[in-house]
């Protein structure tokens, strides 16, 4: 479809996302304050703390403790990693 100036009309809203956005989960404040939940890369067996990397090759940036705490304080939600393992 072309408009009056013969330029193609592209609707940005109709284009699919290349990657789905990260799903964040709401955590009840009482649970957050009562339980010691492993929610950060620093709690995970796959985290290499010296290089701040994930041994599975995932991006640890959204799951680092400092970022998780900041996001939780702002929104009450955290981006929990589905591959987290604790010993
Ligand atoms: S598996 Fe997930 S939680 Fe564990 S280090 Fe990698 S990105 Fe972080």
* 44-84 pLDDT per residue, tens: 999 999 999 999 999 999 999 999 999 999 999 999 999 99
Tell me if 8 is assigned to some domain. no
Assigned domain for 15 exists: no
Quote the CA–CA distance of 78 and 55 in Å, as a whole number: 21
Q: Which atom of ligand 1 is nearest to the CA of 53?
A: 5
- Look at the chain and report how many structural domains it folds into: 1
pTM for this prediction: 0.76
Q: Is residue 86 part of a domain?
A: no
The pLDDT, as a whole number, for residue 59 is: 94
Q: Determine, yes or no, domain membership for 27.
A: yes
Could you tell me the residue range of the domain that residue 56 belongs to?
23-78
For residue 17, give Cα distances in angstroms to 21, 60, 78.
Answer: 8, 22, 22
Q: Is residue 63 part of a domain?
A: yes
Indicate which atom in ligand 1 lies nearest the CA of residue 48.
5
């Amino acid at each position: 479809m072309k408009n009056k100036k013969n330029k193609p009309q592209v609707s940005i809203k109709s284009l699919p996302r290349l990657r789905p956005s990260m799903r964040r989960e709401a955590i009840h404040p009482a649970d957050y304050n009562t339980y010691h939940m492993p929610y950060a890369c620093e709690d995970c067996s796959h985290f290499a703390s010296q290089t701040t990397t994930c041994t599975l090759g995932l991006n640890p940036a959204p799951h680092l403790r400092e970022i998780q705490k900041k996001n939780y304080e702002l929104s009450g939600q955290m981006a929990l990693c589905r591959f987290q393992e604790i010993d």
